[in-house]
Amino acid sequence: MSEDRKNGVSHFGSKLEILRRHPIFSDLEPAAFDQLCRYAKLSSLKRGAAIFSKGDAGNNLFAVISGTVKISTSSAGGRNAILNLIGAGGVFGEVALLDGLERTADATANTDCELCVIDRREFIPFLRNQPALAMKFIELLCARVRWTSEQVEQVILQDLPGRLAGALLRLTEKPQQPRASRTIAITQQEISEMVGMSRESINKQLRAWEHRNWVRLEHGAIVVLDATSLQALADAGPKSE
């Protein structure tokens, strides 16, 4: 193997180490993890690039090496709804990959990003020989269902303050988000599409919370300063002010 080739493989392998830290892959035996890495390909995408669309075949599993991926859906009238934001270390595309059916949403590069891509034809036989890993994917699917249920519940039952507080807290509690870090790389337009309210309403509420020192607004980001107060608001129900 040439020196350039060796350096390329080593560089790719170092990037895949972010997968080793993900709860799904952290318990894999070294030999099994090395085998998984041999199946992986690295894909670099510019912001706004489509990764897959609703209705596409679920041929690949994706993991985010760097950047952020937006999972979303849209109506025939052009309304957009953000279902999730997947950051570095996160895995997505597992539903259609596992059941072999069509993609249920769109995936877009929300920033410039690097993805690890594993073909279904290689991953499914690998998964059959790794029962502990299969259980981890069941846990991941359960977490996705809980996440979706919380979103639906808040959209139906909560007013704007409770809905927005709950969304901010969920975005700081993902496995790939360090607990010490409460900075959420998200714009006000994106959070409005996540909670189903206008950007103007979102801005007004966030400004009020900033005045109370509950959050700090930065360019393209929201910093949660007082998670306890936001949690109380999210738990208070639709009568909260």
Give this prediction's pTM: 0.77
Q: Which CATH code is given to the segment(s) 158-236?
A: 1.10.10.10
Contact 234, 162 (CB under 8 A): yes
Topology agreement, domain 3-151 and domain 158-236: no
pLDDT at 2: 41
Tell me the pLDDT of the chain averaged across its residues.
84
pLDDT in tens, 214-230: 999 998 889 999 999 99
- Helices (H), ranges, 40-104: 94-99
Superfamily of structural domain 3-151: Jelly Rolls (2.60.120.10)
pLDDT in tens, 83-142: 888 888 889 999 898 888 999 999 999 999 999 999 999 999 999 999 999 999 999 889
- Alpha carbon distances (Å) from 157 to 4, 153, 168, 169, 240: 57, 6, 17, 17, 12
pLDDT at 175: 46
How do the domains of the chain map onto residue ranges?
A: 3-151, 158-236
Burial 56-72 (b: 16+ CB within 10 A, else e): bebbbbbbbbebbbbbb
Contact 133, 24 (CB under 8 A): yes
- d(CA 43, CA 65) in angstroms, rounded, equals 10
